[in-house]
Amino acid sequence: MKLCFPVEADNGLESIVYGHFGSAPMFYLYDSETKENEIIDNQNLGHVHGMCSPIQALKGRTVDVIIVGGIGAGAINKLNMMGVKVYQAMADTVQKNIDLYYTKSIPELTLEHACREHGGCHE
């Protein structure tokens, strides 16, 4: 399973999960089978609000799950259409959220949870 976490800085598994998918400077990709990770820069960082392209942002990488502090409705829709599930980060670091994901302790995000503007979303 390939997990993706929007982050502000690369601090490995101690990276802090960013507050919003589209405006995250980079993404921490984690493969739960191989335990390999990769950092990629957000290739869609300057997009117009509501026009996020997750495929472009992730440099075309395929992921199964996004765990994020907040995300817009358009990005949720596009990711879900690609078969990617989106979950709410419930802890500060990538590692803590990985642990929570595998104990089914984080909620899946739906359109009702979508951010209305860029920046952190805490509804």
Distance in angstroms (rounded) separating the CA atoms of residues 10 and 25 = 10
pLDDT value of residue 20: 85
| Tens-level pLDDT at each residue, the chain (123 residues) | 999 999 999 999 999 999 888 888 999 999 999 999 999 988 776 544 554 556 667 778 889 999 999 888 888 888 899 899 999 999 999 999 999 999 999 999 987 666 655 444 543
Distance in angstroms (rounded) separating the CA atoms of residues 34 and 75 = 27
Per-domain residue ranges of the chain = 2-113
pLDDT value of residue 54: 63
Its CATH architecture, for the domain 2-113, is 2-Layer Sandwich (3.30)
User: 8, 26 in Cβ contact below 8 A?
Assistant: yes
CA-CA distances (angstroms) from residue 44 to 22, 91, 105, 113? 7, 25, 30, 22
Look at residues 20, 24, 19, 21 and name the one whose alpha carbon lies nearest to residue 9. Answer: 24
